[in-house]
A and B are shown apart, each in its own frame.
Chain A
């Protein structure tokens, strides 16, 4: 203890401990770390993972139910369902014989990587298979949260109008594939797919596009071909 210290100076020294700390940390850092863990686990299990996003009611579950009924014939398939409430969607999936885990986010408007990591542990082994994650119906928040997927698939239905990619650009920027669903309704609605595609490519010049109908199966052969291409791509990188 230095007895010569001026108490007044000590006080000032104390005050100058108001300090500026540089930290430079990503706000989503924790989610991104967990997403990286999920991604490593999925790769180790040779699992191809898609994160389906759309506004409420665009037809994610209908698309899934049709697609998994076909895909399960050739490989293991699993589904993680995200909704604020109810397990309706998981039940629709289970009715096809495919295992599904329901996540209820309550007030939360998106899935995060921790929820998906936990849900994945509750699924049976899906080695060499495909996992679909159906995100909460919301064209905004899920764009920000990496879940560890190979890529995001954005579903846009013809009833929503052509300009959704301009109104909610982040989601279209974050997605590798846009599925234009309910194409069976396009004639009644005067929906112009070419216009939507042009808007989506303003936001994301590289986005791939397929038009489908979960109702009558139109376009699904091309969707399966796209999935096979992604599977081959992942194998090459592994």
Chain B
């Protein structure tokens, strides 16, 4: 399950920030996860607790902000929202879509003390 690897990546980022900005406790980790990204939010929550154990983020709350999937429909020349991959254009039914947003997997902010 790559969500574990992703959560380890989050912890590394948090620890780096802690060294740089000298804080010693993380209360909340807020992520931005796109609808078309490689991360399933439920699996992230499940893995985060284990990855955070005995680190500076031990016990921290993981908040996930979902970002929409956006694509440019080449058939009807407009930007449309899609919930997941392999979904057709909601306006014209075409699959000629070019994804423009929704692949994000970012640590947005931390609440620390």
| Given A170-B85, A202-B88: A18 in contact with B111 (beta carbons within 8 A) | yes
Say if the beta carbon of A109 comes within 8 Å of chain B: yes
Which range holds the interface residue count of chain B? 20 to 34
Chain A residues lying within 8 Å of B84, measured Cβ to Cβ, are 169
Chain A residues with Cβ below 8 Å from B98 are 205
Q: Give the contacting residue for B112; candidates A21, A28, A169; CB below 8 A.
A: A21
A20 to B96 CA separation, bound complex (whole angstroms): 41
B59-81 near A? 1/0 per residue, CB < 8 Å: 00000000000000010000000
Residue among A26, A166, A199 with max Cβ neighbours from chain B (10 Å): A26
Among A30, A112, A141: residue with most chain B CB under 10 A: A141
> Chain B 74-113 against A: per-residue CB contact (8 Å), 1 yes, 0 no?
1000000000111010000001111100000111111111
> Which chain B residues border A199 with CB–CB below 8 Å?
86
Let me know if A221 is at the binding interface, CB within 8 A: no
CA A84 to CA B12, docked complex, whole Å: 24
When A21-B21, A29-B13, A169-B85 are in contact, do A141 and B111 touch as well, CB less than 8 Å?
no
Q: How far is the CA of A203 from the CA of B85 in the complex (A)?
A: 6
Please tell me if A101 contacts chain B, counting CB pairs below 8 Å. Answer: no
> Within A82-136, which residues are at the interface with B (CB < 8 Å)?
108-110, 112
Chain B residues lying within 8 Å of A140, measured Cβ to Cβ, are 2
- Would you give the 0/1 interface string for A1-45, flagging 1 where the beta carbon is closer than 8 Å to chain B? 000000000000001011111111111111100000000000000
Q: Which of A15, A27, A112 contacts B105 (CB 8 A)?
A: A27
> Which residue of B38, B86, B108 contacts A22 across the interface (Cβ within 8 Å)?
B108
Indicate with 1 or 0, residue by residue over B28-65, a CB within 8 angstroms of chain A CB atoms. Answer: 00010000001100000000000000000000000000
Q: Are B2 and A23 in contact (CB under 8 A)?
A: no
Task: Assess the B2–A27 pair: CB atoms within 8 A.
Answer: no
Closest beta carbon of chain B to A210's beta carbon, Å: 21
Please judge, given known A-B contacts A31-B9, A202-B95, whether A23 and B107 are in contact too, CB under 8 Å: yes
Contact in complex: B95, A28 (CB < 8 Å): no
Q: Are B110's CB and A26's CB within 8 A?
A: no
Q: Which residues of A contact B6 (CB under 8 A)?
A: 27-28, 144
| Chain A residues positioned under 8 Å from B21 (CB to CB) | 21
Beta-carbon contact of A109 and B2 below 8 Å: yes
Q: How far is the CA of A199 from the CA of B95 in the complex (A)?
A: 10
CB of B1 within 8 A of CB of A28, answer: no
Q: Report the separation of the CA atoms of residues A61 and B1 in the bound assembly, to the nearest whole angstrom.
A: 23
Known: A21-B21, A21-B109, A165-B86. A27 touches B9 (CB 8 A): yes
| Nearest B residue to A26, CB-CB | B106
Whether the Cβ atoms of B17 and A18 lie closer than 8 Å is: no
Contact of B110 among A23, A31, A110, A173 (CB under 8 A): A23
| Top 7 A-B residue pairs of the complex, sorted by shortest distance between their CB atoms | A141-B2, A169-B85, A144-B38, A18-B113, A202-B95, A27-B105, A203-B86
Residues of A bordering B, CB below 8 Å: 15, 17-31, 108-110, 112, 140-141, 143-145, 165-166, 169-170, 173, 199, 201-203, 205
Can you name 18 A-B pairs with beta carbons within 8 Å? A18-B112, A18-B113, A19-B113, A20-B111, A21-B21, A21-B111, A22-B108, A23-B17, A25-B107, A27-B39, A27-B106, A30-B9, A141-B38, A144-B2, A144-B38, A199-B86, A202-B95, A203-B86
